Amino acid sequence: VLGKRVYLPNIIFKLVRNNTPPGMPYNPYEATFRIPHSVTKTDIRSYLAAVYGVKTTYVRTDNYISPVYRRLGYERKPFKTYKRAVVGLVDPFYYP
């Protein structure tokens, strides 16, 4: 459509496999993402609805912080620090 502005976010969402314990069935109504630390639950919900048209029921987030390594002082490895978002879906989704 001419004249309609399209805003593309500058955020990277990485889709990862759900954590399914051995012997338990896969839950197709749940998706797991690795996201930047600055993204909030409201941002996740609006991002998935606006860009992909995915309706969500809940959003749960966890922060994973890398351990502190001792080398010339104290430092963390930034690539091991991430935020995980588990999103409940209205429609089932199967990981490719």
Structural domain of residue 63, as residue ranges?
14-89
Q: Is residue 49 part of a domain?
A: yes
Residue 34: give its domain's CATH number. 3.30.70.330
pLDDT in tens, 31-74: 999 999 999 999 999 999 988 899 999 999 999 887 777 766 66
Q: Is residue 41 part of a domain?
A: yes
C-alpha triplet 29, 30, 32: angle, nearest 5°: 160
With contact defined as beta carbons under 8 Å apart, do 18 and 27 qualify? yes
Q: Is residue 19 part of a domain?
A: yes
Question: pTM value?
Answer: 0.78
Q: Is residue 94 part of a domain?
A: no
How many structural domains is the chain composed of?
1
With contact defined as beta carbons under 8 Å apart, do 37 and 63 qualify? yes
According to DSSP, the residues that pair with 68 across neighbouring strands are 76
Q: Is residue 70 part of a domain?
A: yes
